[in-house]
Structure 1
Amino acid sequence: MNTTTNRAYNFNAGPSALPLEVLEVAQKELLDFQNTGMSLMEMSHRSATFEEVHNGAIERLRKIYSIPENYEVLFLQGGASLQFTMIPMNFLQQDQTASYVLTGSWSEKAVKEAKLFGKSVEAASTKENKYKNIPTVEDINFNADDAYVHITSNNTIYGTQWKVFPETGNVPLVADMSSDILSKPVDVSKFGIIYAGAQKNLGPSGVTVVIIRKDLLEKANTNIPTMLKYTTHADNNSLYNTPPTFGIYMLGEVLKWVENQGGLEKIAQNNEEKAALIYDVIDNSNGFYYGHAEEGSRSLMNITFRVADEELEKKFLAEAKAAGFVGLNGHRSVGGCRASTYNAVPREACQALADFMVKFQQDNQ
């Protein structure tokens, strides 16, 4: 437990830790936003006050990520899971194939949805290796006339992450970046679509960010429901219907925090150093702890590991919980342990976990 602020060491996979500074700003502004006499949650989404918040968040995201002008930035709802449906519904034409790279449960769910709308294939998969690694770029098989190639940039359940993104030429590269967006610099121009649920690195749950190239919008299918058309939201600045106003406000405050940290280069450095604290304990434990992901594919966002003895693993998780560490249980589908070290998880929490792991090993060998 962080006794200075009486806050838990939060390693939840999502919804996850938010920067303390952002929470303090929200607390201060909760009842009276900018002397309006109202909470932002009580305001019309058509008001000038909210419009400034909304557009400010879009522009700040454009600046931080150096998003080119030929891309739309959308704030949608439904999470990444709705994007699994919207992407093939909008962009998978009858005479085309969508290629999916399978690296975990979320990419499996994405391709399952795509198959409802047209021909979708596995361009590469590491399932036979229990999703312990990311495929090499050379392993990905797709055709020049494919509708798109879909990847999941970071895999929360298995703890793997793309280090180098594939080059797909004229075929749009689509990336679910829900769990590592804004964790490092990314060349947005290499992608046709980037999408991400906010609840890991961007803010609270309820907002989904979609960064989409404008020429794709011009080619999108039109005979689909209005709310599921990207053009509906692009044409209305994501205000076709009532948006998650408080979530967008919080997202904007998180983006301000990223800027105050020194931008994405500094954020990336911090994330590498935080993850190294925990991976070093695993690597130097002589097998007491062992990771799921192969070293070259390790995630800086989700550190998945096991304790060699099953009963000791249960004891580890119980004692860690008692010591103020939250969210260290692995995903229910795979078990084990998982430390999610997203942007807002402070170095102090990672150091505390590393120290706890060392002491637990010493006490239980």
Structure 2
Amino acid sequence: MKVHNFNAGPSVLPKEVIRKSVQSIIDFNNSGLSLLEISHRSIDFLEIIEKTTYLVKRVMNLNDDYSILFLQGGATLQFSMVPYNLMKKVAAYLDTGFWANNAIKEAKKFGKVKILFSGKEKKYTYISKNYEVPYNVDYFHCTSNNTIIGTQMKIFPKTSVPIVCDMSSDIFSRNLDFKQFGLIYASAQKNISTAGMTIVIVKKNILGKMKRKIPSYMNYKIHIKNGSILNTPNVFSIYTSMLTLEWIEKKGGISVLEKKNEYKAKLLYNEIDKNNCFENKIHQDDRSNMNVSFFLKDMNLKNEFNKMWKKENIIGLDGHRFLGGYRASIYNALPLKSVKFLIEVMKEFERKFSS
């Protein structure tokens, strides 16, 4: 049975990554052991984490000025780790959605937060470009892609202060100059791997400037010193990340995936815009290529549409509980044919119910 998986996270993974991951659970590298049984300090795992680190840097075109960490606690823990390590007195933030707002709440516990833009009054349906990052802040924090509402930053500011970016839902999906960022973090369960692991990519020279005492687990420098194994890491998720990065390179790299992602998003947005039954509320310049939100124009038809897409083995289309409506998450691993299939279902719904 073919299932079309539009879940926002945990989300669709490449089939070959799943197959190899399953085999590793049964018998890892013909060792007679499951990947779930090997020591996180064994040569086998150290080779995995070393290769995964190497692949992150190669895929993102980063040099050894950056350290790659594989931590736990999701992006939510990073909302506190970032200010713990980087905020002396004041930091600048963009308030572009639910998760950005949560990051702001945590940062306020460490110092003053300057909110350069908030889209809250307009329900986060657009992202302003008319702001300037002050030269005297400790860092600037932004969220590149807002999973819930479906907006995405297309450009990033030029600034001399470190840019910190939550890329949880669009990392590895488009080609950027990643050297413009001082720190990137991303929870794994969207475009990278299974849930339970967070990638942190940090430029080493922005660390170690705090006078406050930082608890060991919250200290990036200690994690760097310990090679991401200060405590037992998520072995399985790191291994699956390695497989996903290998898959990205096999597909031709981020630039190739970016073109495919743009095409998938264009097809789906075009259908929403011309379909008499649906609408998208996001400013066109800020529409996400990863998370496409849309709404029924007539909410009386909700039960009918829900029955139709669920009958067709489409899953994960319900909007976030804080927003409602619908959301199609079209990450790297989602096949084009799944997007086309959803479009055909939407067309059929229009033929049946459009007035």
Task: Select 1:197's aligned residue among 167, 170, 187.
Answer: 187
- SS of the equivalent of 2:322 reads coil
* Structure 2 Cα separation of the partners of residues 318 and 112 of structure 1: 39
Partner of 1:267: 257
Partner of 2:309: 320
Say if 2:87 is the partner of 1:117.
no
Residue identity matched to 2:143: T
* Structure 2 Cα separation of the partners of residues 17 and 158 of structure 1: 19
- SS of the equivalent of 2:200 reads strand
Is the contact made by 1:60 and 1:252 (CA closer than 8 Å) also made in structure 2?
yes
- SS of the equivalent of 1:316 reads helix
TM-score (norm 1): 0.95
* Structure 2 Cα separation of the partners of residues 298 and 318 of structure 1: 27
Deviation at 1:222, TM superposition (A): 4.9
Deviation at 1:203, TM superposition (A): 0.5
Task: Select 1:336's aligned residue among 325, 329, 337.
Answer: 325
* Structure 2 Cα separation of the partners of residues 282 and 164 of structure 1: 25
Residue identity matched to 2:63: P
Partner of 1:54: 49
- SS of the equivalent of 2:293 reads strand
- SS of the equivalent of 2:208 reads helix
Is the contact made by 2:10 and 2:190 (CA closer than 8 Å) also made in structure 1?
yes
**Deviation per residue, 1:52-110 (Å, 9 max, x gap):** 111111101110110122111111100000000000111111xx311110110000000
Is the contact made by 1:101 and 1:140 (CA closer than 8 Å) also made in structure 2?
no
* Structure 2 Cα separation of the partners of residues 217 and 246 of structure 1: 29
Q: Note the 1:44-123 alignment, pairs <5 A.
A: 44-93=39-88, 96-123=89-116
Deviation at 1:185, TM superposition (A): 1.0
* Structure 2 Cα separation of the partners of residues 41 and 7 of structure 1: 29
Alignment root-mean-square deviation, CA: 1.1
Is the contact made by 1:313 and 1:336 (CA closer than 8 Å) also made in structure 2?
no
**More deviation, 309-318/263-272:** 309-318
Please, which runs of 5 or more residues in structure 2 have no aligned partner? none
Partner of 1:355: 344
Partner of 1:22: 17
Task: Select 2:36's aligned residue among 15, 38, 41.
Answer: 41
Change (3 A) 1:118 1:47: same
Partner of 2:205: 215
Deviation at 1:45, TM superposition (A): 0.6
Q: Note the 1:127-142 alignment, pairs <5 A.
A: 127-136=120-129, 139-142=130-133
Is the contact made by 1:307 and 1:336 (CA closer than 8 Å) also made in structure 2?
yes
Runs of 4+ deviating beyond 4 Å: none
The count of aligned residue pairs is: 354
Residue identity matched to 1:361: E
- SS of the equivalent of 2:136 reads coil
Is the contact made by 2:292 and 2:328 (CA closer than 8 Å) also made in structure 1?
yes
**Deviation per residue, 1:228-286 (Å, 9 max, x gap):** 10011011111111100000000000101101111101100110111122111111124
Deviation at 1:15, TM superposition (A): 0.6
* Identical aligned residues as a percent: 43
Deviation at 1:140, TM superposition (A): 2.0
Residue identity matched to 1:69: D
Residue identity matched to 1:152: T
**Deviation per residue, 1:132-170 (Å, 9 max, x gap):** 11111xx224321101110000001110001111112x2
**Deviation per residue, 1:302-322 (Å, 9 max, x gap):** 000001000213321232112
Change (3 A) 1:354 1:44: same
Partner of 1:283: 273
- SS of the equivalent of 1:304 reads strand
Residue identity matched to 2:18: L
* Structure 2 Cα separation of the partners of residues 142 and 200 of structure 1: 29
Say if 2:243 is the partner of 1:241.
no
Residue identity matched to 1:97: V
Residue identity matched to 2:209: K
Partner of 2:161: 171
Deviation at 1:343, TM superposition (A): 0.6
Deviation at 1:123, TM superposition (A): 1.1
Task: Select 2:248's aligned residue among 248, 258, 263.
Answer: 258
Partner of 1:225: 215
**Deviation per residue, 1:18-57 (Å, 9 max, x gap):** 1111111112232111111101110001000111111111
* Structure 2 Cα separation of the partners of residues 243 and 7 of structure 1: 34
* Structure 1 Cα separation of the partners of residues 229 and 211 of structure 2: 21
**More deviation, 20-29/329-338:** 20-29
- SS of the equivalent of 1:38 reads coil
* Structure 1 Cα separation of the partners of residues 252 and 80 of structure 2: 36
**Deviation per residue, 1:313-358 (Å, 9 max, x gap):** 3321232112111011100001001000011111111010011101
Please, which runs of 5 or more residues in structure 1 have no aligned partner? 1-5
Deviation at 1:7, TM superposition (A): 3.8
Partner of 1:9: 4
Partner of 1:3: none
